[in-house]
């Protein structure tokens, strides 16, 4: 990307960038609200993961794919996909080891209700990580296919 400031004398996307910088943390925060609200009401790892990925995708749209890839390297994304699945499946394996059925969280704590709570937290965290990274990976895969929109084409 050519340096826009050299061409136009100032950043032509200053409005977009300032507002996006303001919005992105809020979107991420909302994602975590949806994530933890999922225990008691509508929400959960899948929706939260999509919202969290949307904040990264917005960052990539405003600041460019290269910048986004610097902040969230594709390598990490690849490991994230695995980490989420392993966290989900690993919870089930822990249940196995503790002598229960696969994904029967009741044995995670002495109190079955508390065990269910811990279990769903761990599983939803796994879902969040995998969904976020997969969404970003899909975006990267499509975004990398063609050159980015140049500043002149805006």
Partner 1 sequence: MSFLDLVPDWLLIHGPAFLMALPLIMAAITAILPNKRVAWTSTFIVTAILTLTAFSIALYNVEVGTTLYKMGGWAPPHGISLVIDALNAPVIVLIAVMSLLTVVYALPATVAEIRPNKRAPFYAAFLLCTAGLLGMVVTGDAFNVFVFLEVSSISTYVLVAMGAARDRRALSAAYNYLILGSIGATFFVIGVGFLYMETGTLNMADMARILADLDGGSRVAKVAFGFIIIGLGLKLAMFPLHTWLPGAYAYAPTPVTTFLASTATKAALYLLLRFTFFVFDPSYAYVADILMFILVGLGVIGMVFASLQAIFQTDVRRMLAFSSVAQVGYMLLGIGIATTASVAAGYLHLINHAIIKGGLFLALGAMWYRFGITRMEDFRGLGQTMPLTMGAFTVSGLSLIGVPFTAGFISKLNLTVAAADAGWLWAVGVIMVSSILALIYIGRVLLLAYFQSPPKVNGVEVARNEAPIAMLIPMWFLALSSIFIGIKSDAVVGAATRAAEFLLGAG
| Binding interface with partner 1 (CB under 8 A) | 78-79, 81-82, 85-86, 89-90, 92-93, 96, 100-106
Nearest-approach distance from CB 102 to partner 1, in angstroms: 4
Q: Closer to partner 1 at the Cβ: 24 or 103?
A: 103
Nearest-approach distance from CB 103 to partner 1, in angstroms: 4
Beta strand segments in 30-117, E: none
Cβ proximity of 35 and 45 under 8 Å: yes
Query: What is the rounded distance in angstroms from the CA atom of residue 86 to the CA atom of residue 27?
Result: 26
Q: Closer to partner 1 at the Cβ: 16 or 85?
A: 85
Q: Which residues contact 103 (CB under 8 A, 6 or more apart)?
A: 91, 92, 95, 119, 123
Nearest-approach distance from CB 138 to partner 1, in angstroms: 13
């Amino acid at each position: 990307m050519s340096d826009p400031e050299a061409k136009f004398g100032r950043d032509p996307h200053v409005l977009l960038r300032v507002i996006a910088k303001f919005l992105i943390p809020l979107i991420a925060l909302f994602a975590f609200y949806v994530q933890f609200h999922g225990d008691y009401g509508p929400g959960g790892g899948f929706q939260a993961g999509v919202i969290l990925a949307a904040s990264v995708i917005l960052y990539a749209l405003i600041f460019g794919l290269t910048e986004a890839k610097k902040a969230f390297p594709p390598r990490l994304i690849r490991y994230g996909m695995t980490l989420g699945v392993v966290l989900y499946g690993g919870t089930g394996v822990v249940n196995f080891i503790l002598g229960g059925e696969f994904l029967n969280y009741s044995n995670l704590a002495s109190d079955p209700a508390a065990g269910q709570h811990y279990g769903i937290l761990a599983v939803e965290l796994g879902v969040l990580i995998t969904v976020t990274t997969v969404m970003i990976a899909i975006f990267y895969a499509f975004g990398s296919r063609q050159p980015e929109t140049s500043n002149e084409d805006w």
